[in-house]
Structure formats: structure tokens, C-alpha cells
A and B are shown apart, each in its own frame.
Chain A
Amino acid sequence: MFDLAFYILAVLILGSALMVVTLRNIFHCALFLVLCMFSIAGIYILLEAEFIAAVQVLIYVGAVTILMIFAVMLTHQLTGKTIRQVNDQPIAALFIISSLLVLTLLALSKTTWEVASSSGVSPSATELGRALMTVYVLPFEVVSVVLLVALVGAIVISRGD
């Protein structure tokens, strides 16, 4: 049961991710991104991290991709247009991607992985909140300041004075 769910979700994630980069209609790409994000939330649920899953749906599906769809719909040149998904530099791209792959594989094989014990950080909302408010309060606040700066910056730029 668990394995079946995992494989279905994996196929969904990979398939929709592939669709995002290959489809030529940018609105369809955004919709498949939604599906991809939602399937990733499903993986989180399989890992018993419901809080992360809910936040994943709330932030990535509910906010980020909708923002992208909005941007697509508001940009007149993009709606309904088919776009090219390839540029004319396949050789350079192949070189960069293959070197990146080699680097990643090297890093993966060289690292000795520490297997987390099952009694690690409990992913429940209570524990998470407590950790964020006590141990990790400084990074938490820094992140919120960063977001605030981004907000103010967006307003300053869009005012265009």
C-alpha cells in the first residue's frame, strides 16, 4: 500500500515536472507545476510530515503558482502563445548539465550519510513551532525580516517614482 502510493506519487511528480519543461503553452506548464507541487505534498504526507505537507500546499499551490498564473494571464504577450522550449545552444547546455551531474554524483558518493534515528526531530506542528520559537528564533526572525524587505522593495519598485 505504502509502496504503491509512493510509486504513483513519484510518477506523478516526474511526469508533471517533465510536462512543465516540455509543454509549449505556458498556462498548461503552470497548471502542471501545481500538480507537481501537490504530489510533493503527498510525499510529505507519506513521510508523516503533515504540517509540512499542508504548508507546501498552502504556499506553493495556493500562493506561488497562483501568482505565476496571474503573471502569465496578465502578460498579454504570453497568454495563448506557444513558446519555444529549446534555445540554440544544445552543446553548451549539454556540457554544463553533464559537468553538474558528475559533480553531484561525486558529492553523493563521497559523503558518508548519517542515518537519522526514528526519534529525531518530530515533524508535528507543536514541536516545529516550539523549535522555531526557541532554538531557531533568530533565523526565523531573520527570514521574516528578509520577507519584509522583499515586500517593501516590491512596493518601492512598483511605485516607479
Chain B
Amino acid sequence: MFELEGIFSAVGDFLASFLGAPLLQIVSIIAVAGVVIGFLMVLALFLVWWERKLSADFQVRIGPMRTGPHGVLQTIADALKLLQKEDIVPLTADKKVFFWAPVICFVTCFLAYICMPFGKGLIVRDLNIGILYIVAITTFTVISLLMAGWASNNKYSLLGGMRSAAQIISYEVPLSLSLLGAVMLAQSLSMVTIVQGQGGSFLHWYIWRQPLGFLLYVTAATAEVNRTPFDIPEAEQELVAGYNIEYSGMKFAMFFLAEFINMFTVCAIAATLFLGGWNPPFEFLSFIPSWVWFLGKSLFLVFILMWFRWTYPRLRVDQLMAFAWKFLLPLAFLNIIVTGFLIYLFE
């Protein structure tokens, strides 16, 4: 068994053996934050590399090959390069807002992981409003994008920031509503309870009872993290790069890594709410540790998002908005009504 829960509690006991109670609290908070942030940073580096390799594979290319075996260290090299680069601030930029925008973007993308169940007992804090908290905290991304777009004092970044804010706000509605179906089935907002409600075989996963909700969520989530076919905010042909045009060096790296962490966040939420979280698909497979299942399911959904990206062309702005308000939103409401009706009927 390679359940990490035991390892973490052992480390906690070891620390508790020589640290006082108040000190232990501070040390454990810092340690947990360090572990989660470290894991997410490695994950983001991996995802950047994976996206590049996967896109290469889809396009019958090779992708990064030089740095390390099959180029696995390429993202680290890129990050080091970005660290060394000159930090350029435009002359007419709003300096303070320009500085704070990437910081807020980078920090908030980690906040969602406070109540993300990585595995059995492997959760930072099981809030009883879990999923609502995640939905609420991710709205800060919009503010950081607006700040970045506005502070750069560049028409392209302003347009990109506005577009991405409009898009994220629009798609937030069907996104939250599509999550409600699973919440209604679990009768709880807590992520742990939702995962436990899907225990047993894979037939208990909520995707079978919420197929429409799952599809709506994946669609809205693709838009929420600004990925193709909904990457209007970063439409290279019109906007060069969207809200982050004027950013260079480490600030750009922060936006970039935050983007990939956000992508993993929405996929992890989908895996938790619809694909059974850390539950194995069959009982006899439970010898594989739970965090492996969680990571596997999340990365599978990440793969699907990348697959989307290299398949579909970009939508226009009006199509995008019409799709959210005229198609996704009514379907999300329909999903809630039908779910409620069926729950009332059968339980």
C-alpha cells in the first residue's frame, strides 16, 4: 500500500513529538502549503511539457526532445530562462496594478486546492461548502485578468482582458449550475462527501446519473480556462496574446503556470464530482492507492481538453456568448429540474 495518508500522519506525529502545540500549528500549515504548492508547480511544469508533446504527436511532429529524455526538463529550462529575463514594465502602465495582477492570478489558482480531495483522507481542509468555495475563489482569476488587461495600457491586452472577463463570467453560470446536479445527488457541498457518495464500482459514479451535467461542465470548463475552442481572449490572430501581451519574464511565467494549474483544477473538479474522485472503478482494484486514481482521472480529463484544443477551431465572440446564454444555460436549468424531479421520484 502506498497511501500517502499514513506518511503524512507519520510526519505529523514526528513533528508533534518535539514541537509545542502553537508552533506545530504554524509549522504544519506551512508544511502542508509547501507540499501542495510544490506538487502543483511540478504538475504545471509537467502539463506544459505534456501539452507540447501531445500537440506534437497530434500534428505528427516530435516536440521537445533535447532537454532530458524526451525533453521532460524543457519546461524547467524555459522557466529558468524566464526567471533571468528582464522584467519590462511599459512606460505608461499602471505600475502597481501591473505588478499585482500576476500575483493575484498565481495565488488564487492555488487556493482552490484547499478542499480538493487528492486521495482517501488526503485533503487540506474538508470545508462543508467545498465546491461552492472553489467556484467562489476562482472568480478572482477574472479580476486578475481584468487588472492585467487594464494596467498594461495596451489596446490588445485591454480587449483580451475584457473578452476573457466577459467569457468567464458568462460561462461561470452554466458551470456552477451543471455542478448542482452532482451536489443534489450527494446532498452535500463537501467534496469528501461527494466522493464518498460515489463509492463502490464505477457504476456509482455520478456521470451515469448526470451525463448532461458532465457534458455541460466539460464544455463550460473549457471556456472557463480560456482554452480552444473558446480561447477568444487569447486569439493570436486578432489580439497577439490577449491580456498578457505586455508581460515578460517571471510575471509572464506566473500567468502561464496559473493557466495550466487552472486547467488541472477544473479537470480535478470534474473527476471528483462526476468520475468518482479517488474511488477505484472496481472493488478489486482498490490495492492501487487512491491518489493514483484521482490523478489518473484528472489527467485523463486534461488529455481530453488538450485533445479538444488540437481539434476544434476557435469560435467567434458572438457565437461564444450565444452558446453560453442560449444553449448551455437552458440545458443546465433543464438538467437541474430533471435531476430534482428524478430524485423526488426515486428517493
Contact = CB atoms under 8 A, between A and B. Distances in A.
Do A and B contact each other directly (Cβ–Cβ < 8 Å)? yes
B129 A62 contact: no
Nearest to A65: B143
Interface stretch (A4-12, A66-74, A111-119): A66-74
Contact of A62 (B97, B142, B147): B142
Chain B contact-residue range equals 20 to 34
A155 to B, nearest CB: 12
B128 interface: yes
Interface string A63-94: 10110011001100001000000000000000
Nearest to A67: B169
A46 B128 CA distance: 15
B216 interface: no
A73 B133 contact: no
B146 A69 contact: yes
Contacts of B135: 54, 58
A55 interface: yes
B127 A70 contact: no
Contacts of B166: 70
B139 A125 contact: no
A61 B129 contact: no
A6 B305 CA distance: 42
Contact of B143 (A28, A55, A58, A61): A61
Given A70-B165, A73-B146, A73-B150, A62 B128 contact: no
B158 interface: yes
A117 B166 CA distance: 44
A70 B142 CA distance: 11
A25 B142 CA distance: 20
A62 B331 CA distance: 23
B132 A58 contact: yes
Given A61-B143, A62-B172, A54 B136 contact: yes
Given A57-B137, A61-B143, A125 B165 contact: no
Contact of A66 (B136, B142, B158): B142
5 contacts: A54-B129, A58-B132, A69-B146, A73-B162, A125-B128
Interface of B: 94, 97, 127-129, 132-133, 135-137, 139-140, 142-143, 146-147, 150, 158, 162, 165-166, 169, 172, 189
